[in-house]
Amino acid sequence: MPGSSSVLLDARAVERTLKRVADEIVELNEGTDGLVLVGIQRRGVQLADRLAALIQAREGATIPRGSLDITLYRDDLQTVGPRPVVGKTELPWTLDGRRVVIVDDVLHTGRTIRAALDELTDFGRPSRIALAVLIDRGGRELPIHADIVGKKVDVPAPGRVDVFVRELDGKDEVVVQTPEPHA
Amino acid sequence: MTAPLGKDLLGLAPLSAEQIRLILDTAEPFKEISERQIKKVPTLRGMTVVNLFFEPSTRTRISFEFAEKRLSADTVNVATSGSSVVKGETLVDTARNLEAMRIDMVVMRHPSSGAAQFLAERIESNVINAGDGMHEHPTQGLLDLLTLRDRLGDLTGKRVCLVGDVLHSRVARSNIAGLLKLGAEVAVCGPRSLLPNAVDALGVSVFERIEDAIEWADALNVLRLQFERMTAGYIPSQREYNRVFGVSRARLDRAPRDLLILHPGPMNRGVEIDSDVADGPHSVILHQVTNGVAVRMAVLYLLAGGRPDLADAAKGGEARA
């Protein structure tokens, strides 16, 4: 895309931010009892894994993790067509009475989270569901907010926020793409 | 993006290897949905699917119905015995009347080869061929491919032999088309009277003796003897057929390697397949049935989406979220 791109978070900043988010998750949850982290495919899964490792290192408790692919819960199959690859949903734990934290890379319109909430409730009845995101870029189309935000930045469409994680992309980085104002 | 399979699924012969792989890959995550406690996702909410069956079927019709319901589509089953077809209504009239009630998809089984294509060219709804005469039964072919891939991995160079009534078998035709596209080696084995005249044009090897087929193959797909389509004199007797071509434990015990045994059902036990084989350790027959639901969910999903007219209207809404 023509326009400018700038690094919002580099590898060290991503690490610092995740540490803070991990602390805030434990704080919000008042400990690690009943805590389950559920990452949204794709990059939310890696972020949930990292957050769980950070919490484990600090609190000494093992944090159950799951992954959620919300493709089949989207509201736009009729309009944009089927996604080429549907990922797996893996929730090997009972969610009844647990405190679930949904983890995603970027919060934008809120439609992904709406779908994730629908899917989660098909798996059980958590006592509480919270949302933690690395980046909140604004532009909500639904009344949804994140409980924990790594970094807030205003990037209206058609701008883009690209999150890279080392497990999939070989590097940790968050890049903001802004189109030319007169494009 | 437009629909990756086009409007209809009429057979495996018209599909590319990439399209077949896409369906099989899409079926993978759908397997897991049937293992959930709530076996349902909202993907096709609001869509109406008509299962139009002009021929008896248990497995295929129920499998399609499960697939539709687990994707939250609304389904209507029309069996010909209780419909206006017995009053002489034509296929197109029946379908147009259904379309006038605003349906989205038709899953059709019909005794005439080519019926699915005939219908697809005349109505706007998506058409899925659930078996047309002796032509194709694509979702059965796909579930066989998925089952083989589950057990054998990549099918390139794998040897699959279709055994028995190849002549009357739409399952055989879909299997041959799909297997060849995915790079497998394919053979057929059966009495000459039950092989098509132009068998050499199919691109497959021919075994005259079941013993030779068993020695060659990694998997046998044992076809049902379709007595209802045999007018007269195709085989001397069921007992004679079993003695010469039946897949028995004794024959499999002499195989140089473990074979997978597939059968599309319903089985004639003791004729084309012996009970101790059908229920034995090499049989993946029930695995086929399980995979059938996942494959049909994948086909419904891939045909359902991507209407270009709506995509333009919603361009602004498709945001990475």
The tens digit of pLDDT for each residue in A95-142 reads 999 999 999 999 999 999 999 999 999 999 999 999 999 999 999 999
The answer to whether B2 contacts chain A (CB < 8 Å) is: yes
- Residue A126 maps to which CATH number? 3.40.50.2020
As a whole number of Å, the end-to-end CA separation of chain A is: 10
What is the structure's pLDDT at B19? 95
For residue B24, the distance in angstroms to the closest alpha carbon of chain A comes to: 11
Residues of B noted as catalytic: 59-60, 87, 109, 137
DSSP letter for A42, please. T
The answer to whether A81 contacts chain B (CB < 8 Å) is: yes
What is the structure's pLDDT at B66? 97
For residue A141, the distance in angstroms to the closest alpha carbon of chain B comes to: 9
**A-chain residues within 8 Å CB-CB of B36?**
122-123
For residue B261, the distance in angstroms to the closest alpha carbon of chain A comes to: 29
Sign of CA dihedral A154, A155, A157, A160: negative
Helix-strand-coil split of chain A, %, nearest 5:
35, 30, 40
Question: Least CB-CB distance to B304: which of A73, A77, A110?
Answer: A77
Q: Does the pLDDT at position B306 exceed 70?
A: no
Contact call for residues B76 and B51 (beta carbons, < 8 A): yes
B319 contacts A139? CB cut-off 8 A: yes
Q: Does the pLDDT at position B117 exceed 50?
A: yes
A111-122 pLDDT tens trace: 999 999 999 999
B38 contacts A77? CB cut-off 8 A: no
pLDDT: which is higher, A181 or B31: B31
The yes/no answer to whether this complex scores an ipTM above 0.85 is no
- Residue percentage of chain B with pLDDT more than 90: 75
CA of A41: which chain B residue's CA is closest? B321
Q: In terms of domains, do B36 and B120 share one? A: yes
Q: In terms of domains, do B171 and B283 share one? A: yes
Determine the average pLDDT of the residues in B256-282: 95
Q: In terms of domains, do B187 and B211 share one? A: yes
CA of B42: which chain A residue's CA is closest? A73
What is the distance, to the nearest Å, from the Cα of residue B12 to the centroid of all Cα atoms in its chain?
A: 9
Q: In terms of domains, do B29 and B87 share one? A: yes
Q: In terms of domains, do B117 and B238 share one? A: no
What is the structure's pLDDT at B308? 43
DSSP letter for B9, please. B
Q: Residue B283: pLDDT band by 50, 70, 90 thresholds?
A: very high
Separation between Cα atoms, residue B298 and residue B5, nearest integer Å: 11
A81 contacts B319? CB cut-off 8 A: no
Q: Does the pLDDT at position B250 exceed 90?
A: yes
The verdict on residue A163 lying in a domain is no
Determine the average pLDDT of the residues in B129-139: 97
Q: Does the pLDDT at position A151 exceed 90?
A: yes
CA of B5: which chain A residue's CA is closest? A82
CA of B18: which chain A residue's CA is closest? A84
For residue B16, the distance in angstroms to the closest alpha carbon of chain A comes to: 16
Determine the average pLDDT of the residues in B98-127: 94
- Residue percentage of chain B with pLDDT more than 70: 92
Q: In terms of domains, do B26 and B104 share one? A: yes
Number of domains in chain A: 1
Q: In terms of domains, do B146 and B248 share one? A: yes
Separation between Cα atoms, residue A58 and residue A22, nearest integer Å: 9
* Cα atoms found within 13 Å of the Cα of residue B146, Cβ hemisphere only: 31
Q: Residue B309: pLDDT band by 50, 70, 90 thresholds?
A: very low
Record the tokens describing residue B216, joined without a space.
């060659």
| Per-window interface: A 138-177 vs B, CB < 8 A | 139, 141, 157, 160
* Cα atoms found within 13 Å of the Cα of residue B8, Cβ hemisphere only: 22
The verdict on residue B318 lying in a domain is no
Q: Residue B2: pLDDT band by 50, 70, 90 thresholds?
A: low
Q: Does the pLDDT at position A157 exceed 60?
A: yes
The answer to whether A92 contacts chain B (CB < 8 Å) is: no
Determine the average pLDDT of the residues in B87-111: 89
Q: Does the pLDDT at position B313 exceed 60?
A: no
The verdict on residue A175 lying in a domain is no
Contact call for residues A130 and A147 (beta carbons, < 8 A): yes
What is the structure's pLDDT at B312? 44
Q: Does the pLDDT at position A58 exceed 80?
A: yes
B4 contacts A69? CB cut-off 8 A: no
Q: In terms of domains, do B154 and B269 share one? A: yes
Angle in degrees, CA A132, A136, A142, rounded to 5: 90
CA distances in angstroms from A166 to A25, A107, B95, B185, listed in the order given: 22, 20, 54, 41
The verdict on residue B6 lying in a domain is no
β partners of residue B269: B273
What is the structure's pLDDT at A179? 84
Q: Does the pLDDT at position B6 exceed 60?
A: yes
Helix (H/G/I), strand (E/B), else coil: A174? strand
CA of A104: which chain B residue's CA is closest? B321
The answer to whether B45 contacts chain A (CB < 8 Å) is: no
Strand order in the sheet with A35-40: A65-68, A35-40, A99-107, A128-136, A148-152
**B-chain residues within 8 Å CB-CB of A1?**
none
Contact call for residues B225 and B271 (beta carbons, < 8 A): yes
- Residue percentage of chain A with pLDDT more than 70: 94
Number of domains in chain B: 2
Angle in degrees, CA A147, A75, B15, rounded to 5: 130
B162-213 pLDDT tens trace: 999 999 999 999 999 999 999 999 999 999 999 998 888 889 999 999 999 9
Which residue range is the domain that position A64 belongs to? 12-157
pLDDT: which is higher, A81 or B94: B94
Biggest CA pair distance of chain B = 68
Helix (H/G/I), strand (E/B), else coil: B294? helix
For residue B76, which phi and psi values (nearest 5 degrees)? -130, 130
What is the structure's pLDDT at A1? 53
> Which of B284, B288, B308 lies closest to B296 in space, CA to CA?
B288
